[in-house]
Chain A
């Protein structure tokens, strides 16, 4: 890199620079996979990676929003799971009930997120506690009300149109991918072009100064947690659309994965810095690693260890937060 380019790269904000790193890592992982495992780069395999990454991407979108203001959402697993159960039990597999079921499922997510936001912003409960408590509450409600998923309506499948959409796709492009593109656009526009986005970053960097500049810090916080709930519910809906039926523990893998995707995507865990486009790359990287290891028939213990090591290496590469000297 010549000096002039280096200088130009220097004026790019660190947040944007990390997006580049995130894509570089994703590209590296995919290339490595293609070299080591012929067929990994085929469209079918890539398509599968993209679809699975989409689910991580949805959940990570919500997680990213709360991380941007220095929070965290630990309620994702059971918001997701709860929304999935609500969708099938209210739709009872009938297409006519699908719109209502969708509204209910998303409503559950929004409500849970809203409650999280209110607890954090108005009652001053630490985010870890509030969302951890909410996760328990939703788990209890989901299990209790569905009698451990043994209730009469619990055997229902997701309505056929939803399943067709997610197992088939639109014009050969998987629906999950299309939705993901939509989410990515929405997130990017929201965070970079709107006044709301500006306020989000301001709150994330210095909430006291934001308050003193007339930003409704509490309103912004509540909105972000609500959105996080909605995204988790969305992921739940699509997972049942994809798999047909909800299961217990459907959301469990997504808790830590969403945090990892956010950070691998170059978002600062301390808040105020990061872009969703980076998180897209982060989700891709994580899923590509897992898929590749599965394709190589690496046993589960090996997958877990390599997964952890990959995250560590990435953290060392660009996931450090500037702190003490």
Chain B
């Protein structure tokens, strides 16, 4: 193999393409993830890759870095052809470093081992010097200004945000010529997004080719020099400038009007859920009321107990103290089963639908019916007719799968449709209290729009909705009222719709007046 030019020798002229893919096809089983896809990126640019869920962005990225093979088509990195599955060692020599969407950290290894897995410090006889691992890793973390992360910690014990940062540092530290970041900001708090943006710009200025994907248009607008839009596994456009609405139309094939529904117009009714002094996990005593028809936002910096609040309310985490009243009736919720049955019913829609919501190999019908099986059964037998009818009706209401058969496996559906399947399961329970935890995480623009409409519709039907999102903007625009959590307590309550996300951020940073 001929020696690969180092970064300094690479001519920065626009003629040489850093990455070029043409005519790439790739199928998974029956799903055609990429069809005749093409893509090109230059050195010294930040290139955004946009597209709906399932458009094939991640698949393209995996083909580009040689992790999976293309069924057809060619991929070139700095003019050098990447064939089939590239040997890991060769992949590194190509100078491509990738941060994958599903993160690729090894949970049982320490941060240091993760950072140095491919190139550990060695001593005599070429043996790894285990005592040098942590110091070497510390130096790397310091270099990237993130030495608040403990290099000796087991990766599984880190917060999601810190894990994402380690993943990014692992990629940056390879000093690659091509950096590919697949949804690097999905799990990052705003401040770390800035940190990452700084490094992306620096790499670009050093002549590196930076490719990234995101479902947040703001980031694409601020960072990208060029944007390529994918749809159904093919490239539909590459532009220097592109407006959000035009991009959404290119991605989804439809035009969306008005991002957020008008929640202020929705009437609010009686108290549906009353929480008194809830504590446990990170919660240090949280009290609030949630009314029927109300969308109550839960904001604050990442990791202030939002997740524990939702899980505890749903009985998926143990409460140490606190009382719960659903529709005026005192209830004890020890496990999700209790929550589903409690008073008017509580439902929880998780953010990570693949891990916590879906049964991918099972059919749409099995997935949707699961939480309400016993309501449609006689002597332990499933009443299939009733089940089919119920699933068909809710499926039609939510337009799941464009009217496809309900015996189709959920794994074959697009991300948006999968999210709807989870929603449908909970709507079937007729629960009047809905806990929506970051349901728009990693969801494309069009589906987000659908979800906003759905949430407003549900509120209009009188459901009480507790809403958290990692995108503060959504909380600011979609909620009647916003609670700000800080260190497990409610530190502020803002009347909504707040409109301006910065006001919530400002409130999140303010110290708690002990009350």
Q: Chain A residues in contact with chain B, CB under 8 A? A: 10-11, 13-15, 193-196, 198-199, 201-202, 205-206, 208-216, 272-273, 325
Contacts and interface: CB of A to CB of B under 8 A. Distances in A.
B447 to A, nearest CB: 20
A196 B379 CA distance: 11
Given A195-B382, A198-B382, A208-B356, A13 B370 contact: no
Nearest to B85: A325
Nearest to A12: B407
A194 B381 contact: yes
B361 A13 contact: yes
B314 to A, nearest CB: 8
B336 A213 contact: yes
B348 interface: yes
A216 B359 contact: no
A209 B357 contact: yes
A198 B357 contact: no
Contacts of A273: 361
B373 interface: yes
Interface in B433-473: none
Nearest to A219: B337
Interface of B: 30, 67-69, 85, 314, 316, 335-337, 339-340, 348, 350, 355-363, 366, 369-371, 373-374, 377, 380-382, 405, 407-409, 425
B359 A202 contact: yes
A10 B30 contact: yes
Nearest to B408: A11
Contact of B425 (A10, A14, A194, A213): A213
Nearest to A196: B380
A193 B382 contact: yes
Nearest to A206: B359
A198 B350 CA distance: 21
Contact of B381 (A11, A13, A195): A195
A96 B152 CA distance: 69
A198 B373 contact: yes
A277 to B, nearest CB: 18
B360 A205 contact: yes
Nearest to B372: A214
Contact of A201 (B314, B337, B356, B366): B366
A77 B68 CA distance: 44
Q: Kindly name the residue among B359, B405, B408 whose own CB sees the greatest number of chain A CB atoms within 10 A.
A: B359
Nearest to B314: A212
A216 B373 contact: no
Given A195-B377, A212-B316, A213-B370, A202 B336 contact: no
B30 to A, nearest CB: 7
Contacts of B382: 193-195, 198
Nearest to B358: A209
A199 B372 CA distance: 11
B337 A214 contact: yes
B336 A211 contact: yes
Given A195-B381, A208-B356, A272 B337 contact: no
Contact of B407 (A11, A201, A210): A11
25 contacts: A11-B407, A13-B361, A14-B361, A193-B382, A194-B377, A195-B374, A195-B377, A198-B366, A198-B382, A201-B359, A201-B366, A202-B359, A202-B366, A206-B355, A206-B360, A208-B356, A209-B356, A209-B359, A210-B370, A212-B314, A212-B350, A214-B337, A215-B337, A216-B335, A325-B69
A205 B361 contact: yes
Contacts of B348: 212
B153 to A, nearest CB: 23
A14 B30 CA distance: 12
Nearest to A322: B29
| A-B interface, 3 closest residue pairs, ranked by CB to CB distance from nearest | A195-B373, A205-B359, A214-B337
A195 B377 CA distance: 7
Contacts of A212: 314, 316, 336, 348, 350, 356-357
A10 B408 CA distance: 11
A201 B358 contact: no
A216 B2 CA distance: 60
B69 to A, nearest CB: 8
Contacts of A199: 370, 373
B358 A206 contact: yes
A201 B362 contact: yes
A115 to B, nearest CB: 23
A214 B381 CA distance: 18
B316 A211 contact: yes
Contacts of A201: 359, 362, 366
